[in-house]
Homo-oligomer: A and B are copies of this chain.
């Protein structure tokens, strides 16, 4: 598999295999507008959005299972229930499809990050809530595989690594840092240096994602329980002090 990969020596005429990464990048009609299942999808536009969603869904399964290079577009088309040529009506090429796929999968995650709402109770509860959500909606689902996919292909797709860093990592850490600092001023957290490394707070979550995809069958890991012990380290024993 693999195939044409880079290469792309200046040859202007050669139409095929470009892979030149043609600027654009586009995100045509992503508008996940009429989403809701029920909808039989109003007219043409709805039909089109449905098709696109089906393709993305299928592509996600394939890319997660095989990685970028080993995924065959024939398989994606078959799984999506469309002809191969149809894929090219929605995506410029394999690479673009992959990148848009990742972006699409991250949108909901970004939404959640930018909506870190008011902290009512103890900061610890907020962080614990984050952990529960993360374990339930990321580690235990295909979202976790998306993260692994980013780790896998990131080095070869700078655009994806950049996007992920900018939209998810950066925002997430900024929010977490704010949370830590709030906890410090409130006296919930003693270690002031923790504010310098918000990564430490989420480290167990990352480990849970990786463990899940690699060693789950060798030795199951209760990510949430682990995270709670971690919170004890940060905030001190629960209910004590």
Interface residues of A in 180-217 (CB under 8 A from B): 191, 193-194, 196-197, 199-200, 203-204, 206-207, 210-211, 213-215
Shortest C-beta distance, A27 to chain B (Å), equals: 22
Shortest C-beta distance, A179 to chain B (Å), equals: 16
Instruction: Map CB proximity to B onto A143-172 as digits: 1 under 8 Å, 0 otherwise.
Output: 000001011111110000110111001100
Residues of B within 8 A of A229 (CB): 191, 193-194, 196-197, 200
CB-based contact B154/A230 at 8 Å: no
CB-based contact B232/A191 at 8 Å: yes
A203 to B229, CA, bound (A): 13
CB-based contact A214/B67 at 8 Å: no
A161 to B215, CA, bound (A): 7
Partner of A152, one of B65, B152, B233, B237: B152
The interface on chain A, measured as residues whose beta carbon lies within 8 A of the other chain's beta carbons, has a size of: 53
Residues of B within 8 A of A207 (CB): 199-200, 203, 206-207
The answer to the question of A116 belonging to the interface, with a C-beta cut-off of 8 Å to chain B, is: no
A154 and chain B: residue at smallest CB distance: B214
Residues of B within 8 A of A199 (CB): 204, 207, 211, 221, 226
